[in-house]
Structure 1
Amino acid sequence: MSPKFSMVGLVLVALSLTSAQNDSDFLYDYFPEDFEWGFATASYQIEGAWNVDGKGQNIWDEFTHRNVSPIVDGSSGDVACDSYNKYLEDVELLKNTGVNFYRFSLSWSRLLPDGTNRTVNQRGIDYYNKLINALIANGIEPMVTLYHWDLPLALQGVGGWTNETVVQHFENYARLAYSYFGDRVKQWITLNEPFVVCQLGHGDGVHAPGHTSPVEPYLCAHNILKSHASAYRLYERDFKESQGGQVGVTLDSGWYEPEDPNNPDHVEAAERAVLFKHGWYAFPIFFGDYPPVMRQLIDQKSEAEGLQESRLPEFDNYWSQQLNGSYDFLGLNHYTTELVVPENRTDPGYSGDQNTRTYQSAEWPESASSWLKVVPWGFRKIMNWIKNTYGNPTLYVTENGFSDTDAEGVNDQGRVDYYRDYTNNMLKAIKLDGCNIKKYTAWSLIDNFEWARGYTERFGAHFVDFNDPARMRTPKRSQGYLKQLFADNGFPPPKQ
């Protein structure tokens, strides 16, 4: 598909999706025999050990240690779940739940303390070797994310993701990871949720490094995309033949539903919203350039603001070619859905650029996170949108989950309901709609440091007692549910 299709085409795609099956009937059936199940975590959220064994500081170390804490409960990931010391317990939890794979991230500054390849930290390499070997010894495939938000602080000091020099540093980091771990790791994710990295970290300022700018998110995204392409092409060129692995990227997106599906303006606005969210990063990877509607609107608004050049950078022919087709699979992180209405906006920056307003229905069930309403049918719709927009690529669900608080403890029926209904909609997307989905990854294995929300929101299938120095892990009801789901590989018909 060409990225230069018309707005009429976009509206027709959106209309077809809006009219897609929305039935609420539960589907009793099984996933394909080769379907795989797993859990996910991220290094800063679980490892702790923030300043030991040669690890350098990262931007979240600095962000959480500020005199006026930007974290809602004033906490940090200094200890977190102490998985640096308790990784074998985590592997045992994975084994007991019957997973096929475990998605975890490497800490860039644990391996390269200043982010460059001038100094390699052998103790960091040793830690990840031990974790990878323990997983394989227990029949669990490692799926490794190179970057899950914890940029080395030294690189941030020279501009971080807004400085193009980060691209070469990321390629050097990827080379180290492929070289040391690629003999056993066959599933690589370059970057996790670049939208969150760039918009929440550089636009809204609620994540590290805490910047607020209408321009920085677009510069950040541009360099992140180049970094992804560099890491992908490096593996393709120097490692794929000998190691036989795959490289992809994980993009997050909710589903964006038109408030009035019978109003073409609403349908067009909803399509615009998903193109600004998912298409911002996926279009360059699938088609070599940003979505045309982004180029059109941001260029127009930049000119109206009197800027000398557009806030949205351009790829030259080299980078367009490097990006185009730079995937073996696409990772999707999905949690919730929003309703969309069109709105002419003049506020500069990502939110205003798309001329939309989004909100969530008060009727949708809630979680502990203000942004996360339970809307299972939206999961099916975003997977169908990806199928129709990008030619039905191999899709891995790399995160999906539900938040609660301390009060639920291990009796997390809300999470059980969420996983049941979301995975059933994924089954419908596969069996009824023909979506090419191969893996499902529950977020998360254990309760952990939830970024700006600290420890006030829990996403784990295992309860972690953060008041206990031993960080005791206790299975929740959802762990038992997922264990049965994984073992059944779907939803057996009820016994008569």
Structure 2
Amino acid sequence: MYKVAVFVCVTVITSINVNALNTKPFPKDFKFGVATASYQIEGGWNEDGKGENIWDHLVHTDPTAIVNNATGDVACDSYHKYKEDVAMLKDLGVNFYRFSLSWSRLLPNGFANKINKAGVRYYKNLIKELKDNGIEPMVTLYHWDLPQPLQDVGGFLSNNFVDWFGDYAEICFEIFGDDVSNWITFNEPVMTCQIGHGVGSFAPRVKSPGIGEYICGKNLVLAHARAWHIYDTKFRSRQKGSVGFVIDSGWYEPSTNSTADRHASEVMLQFVWGIYINPLINGDHSSIVKEQIARRSKQQGYKRSRLPAFTEEEQKCLKGTIDIIGLNHYTSSLTSAQKNPDPNGIGYYVDCEVVSRQSDDWEKSGSSWLRVVPWGIRKLLKWIKDTYDNPKIIITENGFSDFKENQLDDDKRIDYIKNYLSNIRDAMEIDGVNVLGYTVWSLMDNFEWLQGYSRME
């Protein structure tokens, strides 16, 4: 979990009706789980042959980048305490546990030529402990912790990234796939590409708005497709699992009922979904995104769009390579069209030509970007159904953060989860959305990226 605060808070009046709480049980096959990520909980950052990743590198070379100079060197110490983690999971009574593998713990230099046996043993032991306790593993291959040696030779901006990720994915499918049925390739691509390679605040802190961030996005979805095809051709018939992709998305409510603001809402959704999910379903970026970035690029004197195009071969490779959509959703915003878009600005957050903000009337959490807006998740789920022909969806993250200096207020957290679940149930029952499961972020308080340990989750 982490979102960059890009909202300007204002007081507005909306016409949203709050529905009565839906207390009907979820279907018997609906599954509940909780989630974590390797760098945020494992610790053991350089133990037993693990290599350095981009977050190890950031916290050790620029400690002031993190609140209170915190690091994930120890974090929750799950590398040594995974049995305690599983005991907590069993006590919660969850159906599944979503966790990520550390690429650097398995392949210390990032390449497939050297597999770290101690890293394999750790994840084998964790998966066995989960299954012995009746808990299904849901495994994310990449949750932001690229091996530093790969970053040193280009990382996501390298033409070789698709090969590197495909090799890594194939090793994971081969080693763990007989015990893992639910795979996720990438978690929250906006954070990897727009925040890591555009804004440049997250590791690897590449500041290349409008150029590098879009190259990152292209290579990321092509790498997902490579992994999907490897699984489909080599492992699916035997392991009978699925390969999904996690997108992070708020709901973007039009600020007014004007045509311009309703269009702005759709544009913002397309910039989130049309860059990352549309290629995996339809084989290409959405037309809105392509046309808008091409128009702005031409106005700025570029010979071609700053959004790199897929070749026909790449489009064929991409199309239909998602078995299930993982949705990380926390909050919503109000959107409107920019009155005077900057003609010279480049980057995801200016190319969209949309202004987003939140209402002061919406309940606050411990994070400035997270306001409590339960009706937003139902609207977003309905939009996904209508836009992509009702795909399978798992809510892979949803939750409420609190200030560390405050006493933990679980009443607010309980109300948040209760009301979001109610709207998910409405989306399923009334709107016919195909939601298969729900995941709370997080199992326990952990390293919250640039915020260190200053938030409770």
TM beyond 0.5: yes
What is the alpha-carbon distance in structure 2 between the residues aligned to residue 458 and residue 409 of structure 1?
10
Look up the SS of the partner of 2:184 in the other structure: strand
Quote the RMSD (CA, aligned, Å).
1.3
* Aligned ranges 1:35-434 → 2 under 5 Å: 35-67=30-62, 69-214=64-209, 215-260=211-256, 262-343=257-338, 344-346=340-342, 347-434=345-432
Provide, for residues 156-184 of structure 1, a one-character-per-residue CA deviation record: whole Å limited to 9, x for no partner. Answer: 00111011201101000001100000000
TM-score, scaled to structure 1: 0.87
Identify if the C-alpha distance between structure 1 residues 126 and 351 changes in structure 2 by more than 3 Å, giving closer, same or farther: same
**Aligned partner letter, 2:400:** F
**Aligned partner letter, 1:330:** I
Contact 2:448 2:455 in 1 (8 A): yes
What is the alpha-carbon distance in structure 2 between the residues aligned to residue 338 and residue 143 of structure 1?
30
**Aligned partner letter, 1:455:** Y
Instruction: Note the C-alpha offset of 1:412.
Output: 2.1
Look up the SS of the partner of 1:73 in the other structure: helix
Contact 2:394 2:438 in 1 (8 A): yes
Provide, for residues 366-403 of structure 1, a one-character-per-residue CA deviation record: whole Å limited to 9, x for no partner. Answer: 11111111100001111111000000001000000110
What is the alpha-carbon distance in structure 1 between the residues aligned to residue 275 and residue 69 of structure 2?
33
What is the alpha-carbon distance in structure 1 between the residues aligned to residue 381 and residue 291 of structure 2?
26
Look up the SS of the partner of 2:199 in the other structure: coil
Instruction: Note the C-alpha offset of 1:413.
Output: 1.6
| Unmatched 5+ stretches in structure 2 | 1-13
Look up the SS of the partner of 2:327 in the other structure: strand
Provide, for residues 437-465 of structure 1, a one-character-per-residue CA deviation record: whole Å limited to 9, x for no partner. Answer: 00100000000000111111111xxxxxx
Provide, for residues 59-117 of structure 1, a one-character-per-residue CA deviation record: whole Å limited to 9, x for no partner. Answer: 00011112452112211101000000000000000000000000000000000011101
Do residues 446 (structure 1) and 441 (structure 2) align?
A: no
**Aligned partner letter, 2:239:** Q
Instruction: Note the C-alpha offset of 1:341.
Output: 0.7
**Aligned partner letter, 2:450:** A
Contact 2:393 2:437 in 1 (8 A): yes
**Aligned partner letter, 2:333:** E
Number of positions where the alignment pairs a residue of Structure 1 with one of Structure 2 = 440
Partner of 1:463: none
Look up the SS of the partner of 2:455 in the other structure: coil
Instruction: Note the C-alpha offset of 1:297.
Output: 1.0
Partner of 2:11: none
What is the alpha-carbon distance in structure 2 between the residues aligned to residue 284 and residue 249 of structure 1?
12
Partner of 1:487: none
What is the alpha-carbon distance in structure 1 between the residues aligned to residue 17 and residue 280 of structure 2?
30
* Aligned ranges 1:466-477 → 2 under 5 Å: none
Quote the sequence identity (%). Answer: 49
What is the alpha-carbon distance in structure 2 between the residues aligned to residue 232 and residue 412 of structure 1?
39
In the TM superposition, structure 1's runs of 4+ consecutive aligned residues that sit over 3 Å from their partners are 407-411
**Aligned partner letter, 2:346:** P
Contact 2:39 2:102 in 1 (8 A): yes
Q: Is the deviation greater in 216-225 or in 24-33?
A: 24-33
Instruction: Note the C-alpha offset of 1:320.
Output: 0.7
What is the alpha-carbon distance in structure 2 between the residues aligned to residue 327 and residue 349 of structure 1?
27
Instruction: Note the C-alpha offset of 1:291.
Output: 1.0
Partner of 1:436: 434
**Aligned partner letter, 1:279:** G
Contact 1:160 1:166 in 2 (8 A): yes
Contact 1:252 1:278 in 2 (8 A): no
Look up the SS of the partner of 1:416 in the other structure: helix
What is the alpha-carbon distance in structure 1 between the residues aligned to residue 326 and residue 420 of structure 2?
16
What is the alpha-carbon distance in structure 2 between the residues aligned to residue 301 and residue 406 of structure 1?
43
Look up the SS of the partner of 2:305 in the other structure: coil
Identify if the C-alpha distance between structure 1 residues 286 and 445 changes in structure 2 by more than 3 Å, giving closer, same or farther: same
Contact 2:42 2:77 in 1 (8 A): yes
Instruction: Note the C-alpha offset of 1:408.
Output: 4.0
What is the alpha-carbon distance in structure 2 between the residues aligned to residue 86 and residue 307 of structure 1?
53
Provide, for residues 131-188 of structure 1, a one-character-per-residue CA deviation record: whole Å limited to 9, x for no partner. Answer: 0000000000000000000000000001110112011010000011000000000000
What is the alpha-carbon distance in structure 2 between the residues aligned to residue 122 and residue 169 of structure 1?
19
Look up the SS of the partner of 1:280 in the other structure: helix
What is the alpha-carbon distance in structure 2 between the residues aligned to residue 377 and residue 416 of structure 1?
16
Identify if the C-alpha distance between structure 1 residues 407 and 414 changes in structure 2 by more than 3 Å, giving closer, same or farther: farther
Partner of 1:11: none
Instruction: Note the C-alpha offset of 1:24.
Output: 2.2
Look up the SS of the partner of 2:65 in the other structure: coil
